[in-house]
A and B are shown apart, each in its own frame.
Chain A
Amino acid sequence: MKISDADYQFSVTATPDLEDDTADIHYVPAPCQVACPIGTDAPSYIAYIWEGKNEEALEAITATNPFSAICGRVCDAPCEPACRRADSDGAIAIRNLKRYVLDSLGPGFALPPVAVTREQTVGIVGAGPAGLTAAHDLAEAGYEVHVYEATDKLGGMMFWGIPRFRLPEEAVQQDIDRMTAHCPGIKIHTNTALGDQVSLDQLKQQHAAVLLAIGAFVGKPMGIPGESEPFVRDGVGFLYHVNAGARPTLPETVLVIGGGDVAMDACRVARRLPGVKHVKVIYRRDYEAMPARREELQGAIDEGIEIVYNTQPVEVIDGKALRCVSTEMGEPDEDGRRRPINVAGSEHDIECGLVIAAVGQKAECEELVEHDLMDWDRVKTRLEGMVTEDAKVFAAGDGAFGGSTIVEAMYQGHRAAYYMKAYLEGNESPLPYRTPYRTRRVPICNDPAWEINPRVHQKFHGLGEIPIEFPEIESTYTADEAKFEAARCFRCDAETGSADYTVTSREAIFAMSRINPQDAEIESSILQGRLENRENPFGIEHVATLDDLVFLPANLSRLVIDPYREDCKTATELGAINSLKLDIPFLVAGMDLAPDEIRSAYAAAIAAHGAAYIGASRIGDNASWIQIAGKAADADADAVVFRAAQAIPFALEQEIDFLVLDAGDGLPGIEGELAGAPDISILNHAVSQLRALNREEDIDLVYFGGLRTGTDSAKILALGATAVIIGVAAALSLGADISSGSPLYDADLDAEDRAERSYNLLQAFNAEAAMMARCTGKTNVHNLEPEDLRAITLTVSHAAGVPMAGSLNRH
């Protein structure tokens, strides 16, 4: 039995002790992650590879996968067909990227050891992927685990069933070594077969629980007349023999029967052995129905193997040929695959010297038959608890559920370990197991070529120069290739850049577009999700910022200006009495203590744009300077600012020209501005106060604090300022690092870069402010007025004194 998809479903409730991130509303597991039976966090490790963080990638890979080096080469990689990019220009090479990480870090890399902390011990029979994965999980949980292996090697089918040209022994050894170094509590007993060297009763006596992961090592017969050795051999037996080191000389023509991965491996092994000239694979269904992974199939074809489809063996003619009939595809079976139907009168003989039957495997164990734990060719096991009819004895892997893939066997190992832990802890009704989904929240890579890069194919070597030595068929990526490939990931797991089309919304729309519309149950479950309301994005912690103000565009009631082409005036006069004339309504601040290179770059930009600098000292000869005076004003300054409490009455009384509103809290420095969102209500208060005194025209307002764009600036102009001061934004334009709370300038820029960047920032801000004015139908930024704005939150509506969008006429 293959475990059906339905068995992989999970409950909504998280299981205990499960490291899992699915409660995070900004995270939906990506399709590749969901397709992986063990929930590998592929998007994170791919993103780490792009960042060059291979060790972090390794952590993400190995978190749920103790056989990462093996899987990097031979996993059947259900993640790749699930990849959303598979539909466009090819899936991300998720498997080979894994191999790249494991290969580049090498076998020396190990995770820290986990000590044994529990008294109870566990016995595990079989050292294949299911048994060792369970051993790994139980050892990580602190149990001492004894693994009993019939052969002299660890790895089960991974060692004995997969030929070395696909999976070299070193890769298997690397994973085993990493696991045993990480889990010293795992005690290995090789050459210890159940029933021969050790009995089940002994195990039950020695251990608190036993796991049977005995595998399925016996090839099934084809069930047709004439089937006998040595002319007919079984596939797994053949592979075992070769993996033990044998290199037999075979007849000229070899037939391999079957369409699965064992058939693929067997035919490719035969192709490499001495004496063989032709290898044909005989398969009773068509190409579409063939279960082998497409890459393996293609590899076989590329190596010169002939695939004969729609052909059913009916009789072995010993020593000579295989009698077959042709088939055609009939109606789907109960397993959903179309049944092959023999075509009458199509008998034909295919001559050959050897037939390798790779038509399935089964488990065999006399000891377990005696304990009545076998059900024909497998261990009687309930999937729900992974338990046999003996409550102390659990089972997993091919021996329990029939032939499957390595990653499915690992899933079963995890699952068995989960239920065994519950049993050992006395928890009789644990929550159902489900695959955990984690994310490392790695930022999306910012590779400009992510949309265009095509899939990078691994170099395929095929048979190699000396086929009988079984050299590896393909090599992994170079670091550059890996980065190139990693850039291609869509990052389906990551939150989008849109608060409206969030990852959750996007996935809901995807779901709606991929279900059967007649299926009321699924429709209904999706609708339940859509009916749930989001958290209030403007809850009590919300701070009023300029983001919550919007401009009203011109439409019918006001004529549109052509913002791409029509001019918009930005000339600015500061001061009702002694006017300071500027070309743009921008002042720059915060560079009094900046290095000379920074100051001179901005001095030139300020002069070029006709802006001004405001600070304690002059920034440069040609730039207008507004002095923030301590005690005495500098005769040289173009204007002077004094500090004052009760500023407005004082300023009016003194016939001051303009008033600087310091919402950034700390001019001439910008550390205060860096501290967080400015209090924009300062402007509203000043305007209201002036309006109450009917003196709005008598003084100009200059605003400082938290301006990040030309749009922010335009909003401030609309609210009543005549000019604005930019501080942090100017520093950021020169690559300042602000993480320490004060700007640290980027030393890598040269003078030309800095000059250009300073110039560009003022240009962009001014152009953005002008664009906002034109969108509202104005041709002068100073014609912007509060009426051009609406608030979208109540906090900002109160702070800025601007009505809410939508409700004006009702209030």
Chain B
Amino acid sequence: MVTIDLSHTSITDANQQIRDWARDGQDVEIINPDARHNIGVGLVDPITVRIKGSAGYFCGGLSDGAHYEIEHNAGWAVGDNIYQGSVVVGGNAGAIAGVAIRGAEIVVRGNMGSRAGQVMKAGTLCCGGNAAFMAGYMMYGGRIIILGDAAEKVGQDMSAGEIFVGGKIKSLGNDTMIVDMEAHERDEIMEFLERYKLNYSGDFTKVINAGKKLRYANAEPRSRPQPFFVSSKSSNYWNPKVQEDIWIKGEVGRYRIRGYGASKPVPHLNDIAFARDVTTDAARPEELKDINLKTTVGGRFGAKPLSLSMPVMIAPMSFGALSRSVKIALARASRLSGISENTGEGGMLDEQRAEADQLIFQCLSGRLGWNVKDMQRADAIEIYISQGAKPGLGGQLMAKKVTPELAAIRGIPVGIDLRSPSRHPDVLGADDLVIKLQEFREATFHKVPIGIKMGAGRVNDDIKIAYKDGFDFVELDGLQGSTGAASTEVLENVGIPTLSGVQEAIDGLAEIDAGDDMDLVMMGGIKDGVDVVKMLALGASCTSVGTAAIIAGGCIACMQCHVGTCPVGIATQDPEHEARYDIDRQSMNMHRYFESLRWQIAAITKALGYDDVHKVNRGDLVALTPEAADITGLPFRPEHRDTRRPLTGLELLDRQAG
């Protein structure tokens, strides 16, 4: 047993010392904890940490195998996301005790705050006293035992798991019901209580999910998308697409769902041109090897930045929306082209980790597949606030895709229409986010860049918060960003275009003299090297491609990703459909696509007269449309529009044929 005195040790140093002792199997005693946040975060050795006093936020969070004993009270989110291990709180615990646990035992001898056990997947959360409102809110599994009373909305929107309440229940949550308890359940509970020396001999009321909201009631009739309408001229206002939409809503009585992003035309990068004619120069680039494209992301506070061979990343896309094979192919292509891959929501695959040289691990509100071990083997962490396709909404994964394997990695029941929560249980505002960020830094020893992913909305304000909260990089996604499933209404109507997003971000950061130390990664409709260079010239430090990479790897853009029977084996979890996907061939196709991107970026950079892509700037751009000029403030130069019409299909083919 060693002792660490927090009165003269920083939390980072203390956590480092705990880990060092833990490796030797030494238990640790913390004195003068003074309710400091993030005590014992990121511990993966099976020692015991005794806290002689009270702990602040996230005590014992993001750990696996360790035991924590807190003499007095614990703050917000005690035991956050623990896999195995335990936390015993001698006094009371604040809100969201046992949030997102995956097998841990959390015991609070006194009372616990609201939303206890939110999004927990497995393990036991036990409270000797009373629980505040919404105990078991959105839990996906595991067991909550409350010996005292439970306040309002017990089990609100839980998907699975059980809640046992010894005292009174003030009210039940949505979609829950009371059922009889089985004999063995009582025996197991009594065994548990005995182990933690909690005396109780009364009865329990058992609350479980009632199963009425786990699946959408009426299935939406399947339909293939109709071509988009070029312009909303008055003559086609009530066009066939609108008519079909209303007809189907009459059938299902709710919003419709599909994959991909906004389908309507919005102002975008192809309404901007280079200020000088690069077409001729780009046609004969003599030597592109000397053009610097190397890009680092995330070095703001001394973490090891991502080191990319060009200003391109692969966008976050989940195993879930996409098949395992596609995630492996993406990871391989990222390695071959020297860029980064991103897990998206839903966990890290071993094969993905092995294939990718640089892998970003994304943390979402449902904490699906989120865990400390994968955090510690990631090359960057990204906390998801929202995405361009459906900002303000959580993820959606239709039941067809929630297979046993997928459910296991995410820790959720099989075969539900999974709707992830849209906000983080432990982040209700910018101030919580600072502490959450600190927890991530502690769990990854301050060595890994930590970014934030947002869909573009009030970017001018949001970007300032992201900067002041201390993120290393921002991944900002415009209205055109795609997804595997979302309400069509949100896809088309919530969020601002990528072009507006980058401009507000640059303006917002300039207003607070932020300089360029927080890297800005732009995504949402980036298709080629032309888009990448324009984005960098507008002020982004890097870009991210998702849909285009998927198309390169065989997607035919039918936009039916949500259905789960993808004809080319991409957006599916059905083994028969996934078998259609050839990892070797498609990873090479993606690799070739990235190499084409590289070639294009270098060729344009050279044609613009630079030896480094990071030297391109706003002076290299003009706006071709009044909208683009208004949004970006670039000079309006319609005469720069190539007088030739857009490429026809034949010309395109001709060019492909060389």
Contact = CB atoms under 8 A, between A and B. Distances in A.
Interface of A: 9-12, 14, 20, 22-29, 34, 84-85, 87-89, 437, 443-446, 448, 450-452, 490, 492, 494-501, 503-517, 519-539, 541-543, 545, 547-565, 674-677, 706, 708-711, 715, 728-729, 732-735, 738, 756-761, 763-765, 767-768, 771-772, 774-777, 790, 792-794, 804-810
**On chain B, which size bracket covers the interface?**
35 or more
Contacts of B369: none
Contacts of A710: 255, 489
Contacts of A11: 654
Interface string B561-575: 001011111000000
Contacts of B592: 512-517
A364 B520 CA distance: 73
B567 A85 contact: yes
Interface in B157-196: 157, 174
Contacts of B645: 25, 535
Given A498-B260, A506-B557, A511-B656, A711 B493 contact: yes
Interface in B285-301: 285
B551 A531 contact: no
B654 A12 contact: yes
Most central of B226, B429, B580, B627 by chain A CB within 10 Å: B627
A629 B93 CA distance: 64
B242 A524 contact: no
Contacts of B14: none
Instruction: Give 5 closest A-B pairs by Cβ, nearest first.
Output: A497-B225, A806-B500, A22-B650, A775-B392, A760-B253
B423 A503 contact: no
A732 B507 contact: no
Given A24-B649, A729-B246, A531 B278 contact: yes
B560 A505 contact: no
Contacts of A777: 392
Most central of A542, A562, A806 by chain B CB within 10 Å: A806
B211 interface: no
B233 interface: yes
A495 B221 contact: no
A728 B238 contact: yes
A709 B466 CA distance: 34
18 contacts: A88-B569, A499-B265, A500-B527, A511-B652, A517-B596, A527-B282, A530-B530, A533-B273, A547-B264, A561-B392, A677-B233, A756-B253, A768-B487, A772-B494, A775-B393, A792-B267, A806-B499, A807-B633
Contact of A444 (B226, B429, B508): B226
Nearest to A512: B596
Contact of A553 (B234, B392, B644): B392
Contact of A806 (B558, B631, B642): B631
B222 A764 contact: no
B653 A543 contact: no
Interface string B383-413: 0011000011110000000000000000000
Contacts of B585: 87
The secondary structure that dominates the A interface is: loop
Contact of B261 (A20, A498, A556, A808): A498
B503 interface: yes
Given A565-B157, A759-B253, A557 B652 contact: no
B649 A508 contact: no
Contacts, number: 468
B254 interface: yes
Interface stretch (B79-87, B200-208, B450-458): B450-458
Nearest to B598: A517
A5 to B, nearest CB: 9
Nearest to A452: B565
B150 interface: no
Interface string B497-514: 101110110011001000
A676 B495 contact: no
A444 B228 CA distance: 13
A437 B653 CA distance: 11
A462 to B, nearest CB: 29
B647 A504 contact: yes
A500 B529 contact: no
Interface string B207-238: 00000000000000111111110111111011
A499 B647 contact: no
A497 B648 contact: no
B69 interface: no
A490 B265 CA distance: 23
Interface string B407-427: 000000000000101110000
Contact of A776 (B237, B392, B625): B392
Contacts of B419: 564
A301 B517 CA distance: 68
Nearest to A536: B625
A534 B271 contact: yes
Contacts of A545: 232, 237
Nearest to A542: B231
Contact of B265 (A9, A538, A728, A775): A538
A733 B244 CA distance: 9
Contacts of A715: 493
A452 B572 CA distance: 12
Contacts of B261: 498, 500
A806 B600 contact: no
A129 to B, nearest CB: 25
Nearest to B585: A87
B559 A676 contact: no
Interface in B235-291: 235, 237-238, 242-243, 245-247, 249-255, 260-268, 270-271, 273-274, 278-279, 282-285
A499 B651 contact: no
A538 B585 CA distance: 40
Contacts of A728: 238
A682 B494 CA distance: 24
Contacts of A733: 246-247, 249-250
A565 B548 CA distance: 33
